């Protein structure tokens, strides 16, 4: 049986890697729907290769042009637009698997729609889980959805856990702790005094991974590791103290699980997202991902250090947020999205990102977020505060 796949965020880095793996296995996968925000030319090219039934453009300004391009290309796919269309292609009865690869909070609602419809969800969009953790996991559990991690660290942890692992039950599985590895990004060793002057191009030049701009900046500030810490807590039912962040600049080990008999299981591989994507697409089988095999003889160095929170204050903020509760994770994620967008536009310095995040965390109101509507309203409220703070600082 072929798996029918919807790819939310098909034109991004994860979306493109997913289509690369799918194209290697036409007998196993077919594409039901592809979505993008603005990159409609890329979307049309992808549709010509994969012949989906639906294309969704989330930015309405690009809808008419996309319809025109689809007609010129003689595509049979129906072109849709807007939030309802995203939810529809994530939850349609014809769909087996949804790759959640929209960047940021915009991915929350369609990913939740997939959870409510009991789909197999391949989760790349960590921000959705950070902003709605408990509610999202509840929807997955209540609707018998399957949640498989795409983030390389979480996919590695998943691979190193026993298959019998029960949610939130480390002691039963004989686990001491989870070792969440991170490369430290492009500024791991640069003098602290230079950080304030780093440009978007420098921040996006990750030494090991080729990724979208938002996550690349998050990797440079290590907010990415902070978001991943929160993501790991929700995905596996961990407490923040169950997790130790370890800097491993080579990005060959993608994370580890330490057991109480002294064993440490690590998942390794070249830093290429097609490995976790292929793993999750075919789970519990294994398929070729197209990734070059690891050659141990060519690895010259293999090092591990503790992260320096003076260099990476966002990491400490994320730890604080996950301990404070859902509202704090939602606020930190919203503030960070505003800060990173401002940095990429050249209106905020690199060090200003953590400053804005910290400023918002000092002011954020402590509230209970019991529903998606609560979460979205709170996310919007924090974004407005962050924008006001930015204007005040300018």
Binding stretches for Mg ion (CB under 5 A): 151-153
Residue 124 CB, shortest distance to ligand NDP, in Å, is 3
Selected range binding ligand NDP among 12-20, 260-268, 323-331, 377-385, rule: CB under 6 A:
12-20
Helix (H) or strand (E) holding 276: helix 274-282
Residue 352 CB, shortest distance to ligand NDP, in Å, is 21
Of 85 and 369, the one with the shorter C-beta distance to ligand NDP is 85
Binding partner selected for residue 181 from Mg ion, ligand NDP, none, CB under the kind-specific 5 to 8 Å limit: none
The residues in 18-37 that bind ligand NDP, with binding defined as CB under 6 A, are 36-37
Of 13 and 58, the one with the shorter C-beta distance to Mg ion is 13
Q: How far apart are CA 227 and CA 216, in angstroms?
A: 13
Residue 59 CB, shortest distance to ligand NDP, in Å, is 7
Q: Answer whether 22's CB lies under 8 Å from 289's CB.
A: no
Q: Answer whether 364's CB lies under 8 Å from 166's CB.
A: no
The encoded tokens of residue 255 equal 């994370």
Of 119 and 359, the one with the shorter C-beta distance to ligand NDP is 119
Of 46 and 221, the one with the shorter C-beta distance to Mg ion is 221
Tell whether residue 211 is a contact of ligand NDP (CB under 6 A).
Answer: yes
Helix axes 152-160, 223-236, angle to 10 degrees: 40
Give the number of residues in contact with ligand NDP, rule: CB under 6 A.
Answer: 27
Binding mask 308-347 for ligand NDP (x = CB under 6 A): ----------------------------------------
Q: Answer whether 270's CB lies under 8 Å from 254's CB.
A: no
User: How many residues are there in the chain?
Assistant: 394
Q: b/e map of 3-26 (b: 16 or more CB within 10 Å)?
A: bbbbbbbbbbbbbbbbbbbbeebe
Nearest of 198, 33, 52 to residue 102 by alpha carbon: 33
Q: Answer whether 8's CB lies under 8 Å from 102's CB.
A: yes
Of 11 and 159, the one with the shorter C-beta distance to ligand NDP is 11
Selected range binding ligand NDP among 13-21, 184-192, 250-258, 370-378, rule: CB under 6 A:
13-21
Of 151 and 379, the one with the shorter C-beta distance to ligand NDP is 151
**What single DSSP character describes residue 285?**
S
Of 152 and 216, the one with the shorter C-beta distance to Mg ion is 152
Q: Answer whether 135's CB lies under 8 Å from 157's CB.
A: no
Contacts of 124 (CB under 8 A, 6+ apart): 9, 14, 99, 100, 101, 150, 151
**What single DSSP character describes residue 181?**
E
Selected range binding ligand NDP among 156-164, 210-218, 282-290, 349-357, rule: CB under 6 A:
210-218
**Binding footprint of ligand NDP on the chain (CB under 6 A):** 9-15, 36-39, 58, 101-103, 106, 124-127, 151, 209, 211-212, 214-215, 273
């Amino acid at each position: 049986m072929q798996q029918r796949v919807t790819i939310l965020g098909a034109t991004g880095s994860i979306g493109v890697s997913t289509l690369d793996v799918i194209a290697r296995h036409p007998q196993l996968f077919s594409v039901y729907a592809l979505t993008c925000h603005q990159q409609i030319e890329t979307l049309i090219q992808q549709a010509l290769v994969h012949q989906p039934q639906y294309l969704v453009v989330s930015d309405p300004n690009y809808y008419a042009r996309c319809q025109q391009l689809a007609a010129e290309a003689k595509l049979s796919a129906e072109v849709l637009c807007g939030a309802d269309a995203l939810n529809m292609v994530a939850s349609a009865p014809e769909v087996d698997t949804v790759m959640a690869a929209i960047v940021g909070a915009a991915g929350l609602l369609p990913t939740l729609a997939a959870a409510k419809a009991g789909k197999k969800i391949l989760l790349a969009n960590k921000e959705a889980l950070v902003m709605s953790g408990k509610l999202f996991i509840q929807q997955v559990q209540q609707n018998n959805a399957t949640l498989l991690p795409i983030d390389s660290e979480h996919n590695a942890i998943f691979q190193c856990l026993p298959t019998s692992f029960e949610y939130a039950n480390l002691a039963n599985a004989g686990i001491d702790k989870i070792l969440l590895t991170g490369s430290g990004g492009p500024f791991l060793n640069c003098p602290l005094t230079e950080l304030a002057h780093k440009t978007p191009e420098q921040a996006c030049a990750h030494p090991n991974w080729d990724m979208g701009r938002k996550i690349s900046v998050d990797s440079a500030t290590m907010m990415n590791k902070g978001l991943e810490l929160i993501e790991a807590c929700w995905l596996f039912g961990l407490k923040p103290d169950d997790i130790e962040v370890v800097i491993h600049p080579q990005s060959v080990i993608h994370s580890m699980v330490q057991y109480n008999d002294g064993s440490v299981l690590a998942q390794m591989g070249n830093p290429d997202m097609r490995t976790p994507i292929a793993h999750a697409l075919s789970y519990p089988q294994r398929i070729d991902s197209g990734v070059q095999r690891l050659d141990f003889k060519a690895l010259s160095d293999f090092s591990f250090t503790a992260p320096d929170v003076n260099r990476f204050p966002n990491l400490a903020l994320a730890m604080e947020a996950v301990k404070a509760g859902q509202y704090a994770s939602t606020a930190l994620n919203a503030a960070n999205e505003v800060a990173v967008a401002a940095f990429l536009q050249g209106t905020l310095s690199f060090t200003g990102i953590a400053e804005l995040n910290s400023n918002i965390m000092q002011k954020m109101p402590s509230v209970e977020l019991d529903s998606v509507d609560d979460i979205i309203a709170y996310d919007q409220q924090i974004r407005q505060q962050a924008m006001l703070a930015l204007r005040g600082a300018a």
